[in-house]
Structure 1
Amino acid sequence: MTEQVQIFQPSGSLDATKSQAFRQEITGFVENGTKIVLVDLKNVTFMDSSGLGALVLAFKTLRAANSKLVLCSINEQIRILFELTGMDKVFEVFSDRDEFQKSLMTKIK
């Protein structure tokens, strides 16, 4: 049986040097049949346009596979980046893993 929810927790900077590895991780989730990928950004201290691009590509890749990408625990810098680029309207963002779990439990009932 495949895992329905996978959690990915990058750390440090999500930039050009890490965006390829991030994309490979997402591809692995798609190949495993994961339905929801929660990207926990709690330990990400900085994100640039390459990191944002990697998130958008991951979102599109998962959507094409009838899966979903959701985010949690974004910091102020990432929140501002999302607002400036309009990505706050694209991504479903939870304050933390607990809020995500509660949302998941509500949908299951």
Structure 2
Amino acid sequence: MSLTVKVIEPSGILDGIRGNILRREVGDILESGADILLIDLKDVKFIDSSGLGALVSAMQMVRKANSKLFVCSVSDQVRMLFELTKMDRIFQTFIDQEDFERQILAIQ
């Protein structure tokens, strides 16, 4: 069985505007039938509360579609935000895309 994996790579500041774009992108990807969605945050320097809300919304959309969502390349600021808001318990994070492939795709 072959799984469809899609990667989203937002950049800059993940705020309300970029969060809405992210939600639309996630919706489009799920409509195309992706099994696994990886959000690579390597180019995201800062996430505000609206951006965090967009990530939570994306997770809910993915769960409703019976798919899986993972996050990788989290900066120190984003990691701290995830820990403070306990989102690190919700999002499974990886060092980078290679780490994700090694740990998740290898066992699928």
The aligned residue for residue 42 of structure 1 is: 42
Which blocks of at least 5 consecutive residues in structure 1 are unaligned? none
The aligned residue for residue 73 of structure 1 is: 73
Identity, % of aligned positions = 45
Per mean C-alpha deviation after superposition, the further-off stretch among 26-35 and 2-11 is 2-11
1:48 deviation in Å?
A: 0.4
Which blocks of at least 5 consecutive residues in structure 2 are unaligned? none
Q: Structure 2 length normalisation: TM-score?
A: 0.94
1:3 deviation in Å?
A: 6.7
The aligned residue for residue 63 of structure 2 is: 63
Deviant stretches of 4+, over 2 Å: none
In structure 2, relative to structure 1, the CA distance for the partners of 1:3 and 1:107 (3 Å cut) is: closer
8 Å CA contact 1:3–1:33 kept in 2: the answer is no
1:44 deviation in Å?
A: 0.3
Residue correspondences, number? 107
Q: Deviations over 1:7-45 (max 9, x none)?
A: 000000000121111110000011001011100000001
8 Å CA contact 1:7–1:37 kept in 2: the answer is yes
In structure 2, relative to structure 1, the CA distance for the partners of 1:107 and 1:96 (3 Å cut) is: same
1:104 deviation in Å?
A: 2.6
Q: Counterpart amino acid of 2:77? A: Q
Q: What RMSD in Å do the two structures reach over aligned CA positions?
A: 1.3
